[in-house]
Amino acid sequence: MLERITRFFTRESAHSDPQEVQIYEDGEHPLSPDMINRDAYKVVDVLQRAGFEAYVVGGCVRDLLIGLKPKDFDVATSAKPGEIKELFRRARIIGRRFQIVHVQFSREIIEVTTFRSNTSQTAGKNHRQQTDSGMLTRDNVFGTVEEDASRRDLTVNALYYDPGDNSIHDFTNGLDDIDDKIIRIIGDPETRFREDPVRLLRVARFAAKLGFDIESHTANPMKQRAADLQQVSPPRLFDETLKLFMSGQALDTFNLLLEYKLFDFIVPQLAPMLNDRQGIPIKLVSQALINTDKRIQASQRVTPAFVYAALLWPVVQKLAKNYEKQGSSPPYALSKAAGEVILKQIPVTAIPKRFTIPMREIWDLQLHLRRRGGNRAKRLLEHPRFRAAYDFVLLREESGEDLEGLGEWWSAYQQANAESREEMADQVAATERRPRKNRRRRGGKPAANPES
């Protein structure tokens, strides 16, 4: 696909003033209207017939040009939210920070946004708000399509496709950057990162997803601006971490997050433990992300609970060991550590309870899976979180933890028939019964979930 693009984009005007629009007409680019989702096409058509400007825009145009399957199709238009709503039977206005219109079709929702401007001089106070550090908190100033292009994050994300006449409108030399495989922020990088620190993560995410290089002016201020991520609301930062780790290029993204010091502000408790590049923590996290990427590749289910369980496990384990040294029983130490570590992470990325509960179960089962003699193994196998906990044992072993062959035992147990399973469990029971020194129990009962 890229060769095809190169062939198309050999125009003289390719390096003109980025404010000047370059229009690539039908035949000058590899897109065609049939590549566009039918419903998005219809939305553009209805808007254009009503006299508005309308384009398919953003990630889908980028992905189609690169030969990737777009996740969704977004539409941008000169029509105001109220005007959009009037044109469609099933449409509703949502959002406060950005007002957008959702047009409902039988198969899906098409997101329609009105062209917005990023020029604060003309903005009334009610429409555009900024914090002292320059961060935008509200942004509903409508503008022209050119202004809409320049308020977008990356040049590769600011291409406007008109399926009506099959033309691409490029205001920021985005097509050249796609062709050259470059991630470049639009406008002054430092200012744009200050306006919205999430753009730091988006730069890393798209560089990893597309395999593109980060252009040097874009890259230069990134480390310095990383700490601004602390100003992003914890629920939004949680959502962004899902996109970072659950979209198929988690390992590459993670390595960029480390390189640009962004990870320090995503899981601050873990970050110092990753300084030892040969250590178990970085191996565990990397392997968890490799496995996540592989599962996505194979269309298998992935859950944020497993990823976050891995991201926080080294921290939980270290703290739990401290509590054990102070005399707590292993289950009590683990439970107390888990509660504390989660409680510290929530103000950074607000992990919802539907994920923290299974995370704690995966961690708890790390102890239970060891005590597998007698009837226990059979019962554990039926635990709803068994599979995740077993995968977690394998992950720990893969990253260099010595669990005395626990993963192998459970692999064999699952494959064995009922009779052999009983034998295996009895054998373990015999060793578990053997009296050991210091078997005296210490510590109280586990604490209740502090986050519940």
139, 148, 153, 179: the active-site residue: 153
304 touches Mg ion (CB under 5 A): no
Told to check if 71 binds ligand ATP by CB under 6 A, we report: yes
Q: Does 58 bind ligand ATP (CB under 6 A)?
A: yes
Judge residue 110's burial from the number of C-beta atoms within 10 Å of its C-beta, 0-12 exposed, 13-18 middle, 19 or more buried.
buried
User: Which of the ranges 40-48, 58-66, 138-146, 266-274 carries the binding residues for Mg ion, by CB under 5 A?
Assistant: 58-66
Q: Residue 309 binds which entry of ligand ATP, Mg ion, none, with Cβ cut-offs from 5 to 8 Å by kind?
A: none
Q: How far apart (Å, rounded) are the C-alpha atoms in residues 361 and 338?
A: 10
Selected from 37, 140, 157, 366, the binder of ligand ATP by CB under 6 A is 157
Give the binding range for ligand ATP (CB under 6 A) out of 13-21, 68-76, 226-234, 343-351: 68-76
Locate 119 and state its tokens.
Answer: 């020029």
Q: Which does 128 bind (CB under 5 to 8 A by kind): Mg ion, ligand ATP, none?
A: none
Judged by CB under 6 A, does residue 152 bind ligand ATP?
yes
- Cα dihedral 288, 292, 298, 299 in deg (nearest 10): 150
Catalytic residue among 63, 74, 170, 177: 74
Number of chain residues interacting with ligand ATP (CB under 6 A): 12
Q: Residue 179 interacts with ligand ATP (CB under 6 A)?
A: no
Indicate whether 59 belongs to the interface with Mg ion (CB under 5 A).
yes
Closest CA to 392 of 364, 371, 413: 364
Residue 116 in the binding site for ligand ATP (CB under 6 A): no
Between 203 and 270, whose beta carbon lies closer to ligand ATP? 203
Please, which residues bridge with residue 109 across strands? 104
Residue with tokens 């239970």: 368
CB of 142 to Mg ion, least distance (A): 21
To the nearest whole angstrom, how small is the minimum distance from the Cβ of residue 72 to Mg ion? 5
Burial environment of residue 376 by CB neighbours within 10 A (0 to 12, 13 to 18, 19 or more): middle
Choices 67-75, 226-234, 262-270, 306-314; region in contact with ligand ATP by CB under 6 A: 67-75
Nearer Cβ to Mg ion (59/339): 59
Backbone dihedral angles phi then psi of residue 220, each to the nearest 5 degrees: -50, -50
| Residue 158 partner contact from Mg ion, ligand ATP, none using kind-dependent CB cut-offs of 5 to 8 Å | ligand ATP
Contacts with ligand ATP, 187-226, as mask; x by CB under 6 A: ---------x-xx---------------------------
Annotated catalytic residue 74: yes
Q: Which residues are designated catalytic?
A: 72, 74, 153
Binding site for ligand ATP (CB under 6 A): 58-59, 71-72, 74, 152-153, 157-158, 196, 198-199
